[in-house]
Amino acid sequence: MEDAVLLKDIVKAFPGTVANNHITISVRKNSIHGIVGENGAGKTTLMKQLYGMYRPDEGEIWINGKQVVFHSPRDAINCRIGMVHQHFTLVNSMSVVENIILGRPVLKYGFVDIRRAKKEIGLLCGKYNFDMDLDAKVEDLPVGLKQRVEILKALYLGADVLIMDEPTAVLTPQEITELFVTLKNLRDQGASIILITHKLSEVMQLTDEVTVLRDGRVTGHVFTKDTNEQELARMMIGRGLLLHIDRQEAKIGGKALGVRNIRCKNDDGMMVVNDVSFDVHYGEIVGIAGVQGNGQTELIEVISGINQEYAGRIEIDGQEVLTKSSPWQRRAMGLGHIPEDRQREGSAPDATIEDNFLMTTYRKPEINRHALISRKKALQELEDMVREFKIKIPGYRAKGSALSGGNMQKLIFAREYNLNPRCLIASQPTRGVDIGAMEFIHSHLARMRDQGKAVLLVSNELSEIMLLSDRVLVMYEGKISGEVKAGELSEEKIGLLMAGIVQERGEQDVE
């Protein structure tokens, strides 16, 4: 059987780096082919060439046995290739049907025929078991449905090769399960799917075969049934996975963060955080678990000072925080914050990498003398962090958008770590990063705890919460549904609380 896609001896270089170094990959028809590797391994660059966004410097692209040359994504689409990007390309103010037909509108007498378009898209939804309100505004959809709209867009344009770039990075566990069902259904109905990811558990669940990249080269190709996560990790990072984090016995100190009776509403006036109280002490990591959308994001916005419209009381290092205190004033009290959305809140893609680092660092006394910023000192600190955190960058004056998502996440973590906070809020700190970076960030969070600092960890990854936390608080519908201590941690117990099923003792009081 001929391949759906053959990438043959592909080379792509940028100033200072060779992103793809003579890569050859074949993708069988009617299969799910995983492409895995660390951040900066060359995965997305390779797929952008398959989708016509970049031209290879060397090598050949073959589709269904025919060599092709792509000058733009339009050429790829004409060859029935679709791509769902990690960061969606939807127009939020438009409806689902309007977004789907944007690239190929259905016309009647020179006008867009929405009725006929909805009929065509409805047939697609029926074929692939998509339950979708075509009249809904995209801005009102949860993330999982937005991704489904992106998939429908590609299918509507005729794609039978679908590239999925880190598709689960922003999904809840339930949405991930639904996505896997969708992708397997697409494969079974004749599609070929290329899955770019760094999550080895998902590779093992979903793919038929896997190609591994490291430093722009292919380091292995295996059928999924013949491998395991440890073997894939060795091909990715040169060693197996760390199954635990070395850390000292907990030495609990005084109260670093106090949260009392916090209440806040969303823009629609709904109570999304409802009477939440807890403490975080020095020398411990407290995890907050829960399905996304149960108030975790809004709670952290209140604690960090992003949202100042709330009721209740917050204390940092024993000192009460004024409700209208800015995020920087709270930082000055010893609070650090890694925001969950690195694009919207954590970085400025159009600013340089150096300026992205300076966004919080510029207030450090070592850098800011009498309102004058020492660029030399700032650059030295940035160089130290890049080296320590092994961040791959094309240059300090390059734009932030030049970094892969994982390397930007590492830069944000390094920026906060460099400020030496006494209490760190880490919201989704490893979202979108590879296993090597994940282990590195985990070890640094454990080091902060061992140094006597406090960490409040918010994560949708239950395995991450269980690996790092001394205590776990579970949020459900804006409230703390329970607390589980380290010795009692189990996926079953936390999972029940995440679903709002409270243990026999009822809701637990948390100090």
Q: Which residues are 258's β-sheet partners?
A: 279, 315
In this structure, the answer to whether residues 217 and 100 fall within a common structural domain is: yes
Q: Could you tell me which of 314, 322, 348 has the C-alpha nearest to residue 423? A: 314
In this structure, the answer to whether residues 302 and 447 fall within a common structural domain is: yes
Which 8-state DSSP code applies to residue 308? -
Q: Is there a domain that residue 341 lies in?
A: no
Q: Please give the pLDDT value at position 505.
A: 42
Beta strand 17-28 with 3-14: parallel, antiparallel or unpaired? antiparallel
CB neighbourhood size of 311 (10 A): 13
In this structure, the answer to whether residues 180 and 72 fall within a common structural domain is: yes
In this structure, the answer to whether residues 134 and 19 fall within a common structural domain is: yes
- How do the pLDDT tens digits run along the chain, 511 residues long? 579 999 999 999 988 789 999 999 999 999 999 999 877 788 989 999 999 999 999 999 999 999 999 999 999 999 999 998 877 788 888 999 999 988 777 777 778 888 888 898 998 888 888 888 899 998 888 777 888 898 988 988 889 999 998 887 666 666 788 889 889 999 998 999 999 987 888 899 999 999 999 889 999 999 999 999 888 888 887 766 555 677 778 789 999 999 999 999 988 888 999 999 999 999 999 999 987 778 999 999 999 999 999 999 999 999 999 999 999 899 999 999 999 887 778 888 899 999 998 888 887 888 887 778 888 888 888 999 999 888 888 888 888 888 877 788 889 999 999 889 999 999 989 877 777 778 888 989 999 999 999 999 998 878 788 889 999 999 988 999 889 887 787 777 787 787 777 654 444 444 3
Both structure tokens of 431: 């979202």
Query: Are 445 and 476 spatial neighbours (Cβ–Cβ below 8 Å)?
Result: no
Q: Is there a domain that residue 255 lies in?
A: yes
Q: Which residues contact 157 (CB under 8 A, 6 or more apart)?
A: 77, 82, 103, 104
In this structure, the answer to whether residues 207 and 102 fall within a common structural domain is: yes
Q: Please give the pLDDT value at position 506.
A: 41
Q: Please give the pLDDT value at position 124.
A: 86
Cα(171)–Cα(179) distance, integer angstroms = 9
Q: Please give the pLDDT value at position 502.
A: 66
Q: Please give the pLDDT value at position 65.
A: 93
In this structure, the answer to whether residues 21 and 160 fall within a common structural domain is: yes
386, 415, 444 - which closes a domain: 415
User: Where does 134-172 have alpha helices with state H?
Assistant: 143-156
172, 207, 237 - which closes a domain: 237
In the chain, the N- to C-terminal Cα span, in Å, equals: 64
Both structure tokens of 171: 């999904």
In this structure, the answer to whether residues 91 and 227 fall within a common structural domain is: yes
Q: Is there a domain that residue 340 lies in?
A: no
Query: What CATH number is given to the structural domain containing 105?
Result: 3.40.50.300
Residue 369, judged by CB atoms within 10 A of its CB (0-12, 13-18, 19+), counts as exposed
pTM of the model: 0.67
CA Rg, the chain, in Å?
A: 24
How would DSSP label each residue in 337-366?
EE-S-TTTTS--TTSBHHHHHHHHHTTSTT
Q: Is there a domain that residue 343 lies in?
A: no
Q: Is there a domain that residue 344 lies in?
A: no
Q: Please give the pLDDT value at position 244.
A: 63
In this structure, the answer to whether residues 25 and 65 fall within a common structural domain is: yes
Helix (H, G, I), strand (E, B) or coil at 316: strand
Both structure tokens of 429: 């700190």
- Domain with 359 in it: 352-415
Q: Please give the pLDDT value at position 509.
A: 43
Q: Is there a domain that residue 347 lies in?
A: no
Cα(233)–Cα(201) distance, integer angstroms = 11
415, 432, 457 - which closes a domain: 415
- The residue with tokens 């030295």 is 380
Cα(223)–Cα(474) distance, integer angstroms = 38
In this structure, the answer to whether residues 441 and 309 fall within a common structural domain is: yes
Overall domain count for the chain: 3
In this structure, the answer to whether residues 106 and 219 fall within a common structural domain is: yes
Both structure tokens of 472: 């776990």
- The residue with tokens 């902060």 is 448
What is the helix (H) or strand (E) element at residue 240, kind and residue range? none
In this structure, the answer to whether residues 328 and 391 fall within a common structural domain is: no
Cα(38)–Cα(470) distance, integer angstroms = 29
Q: Which residues are 457's β-sheet partners?
A: 287, 426
Q: Is there a domain that residue 273 lies in?
A: yes
Q: Is there a domain that residue 309 lies in?
A: yes
In this structure, the answer to whether residues 315 and 365 fall within a common structural domain is: no
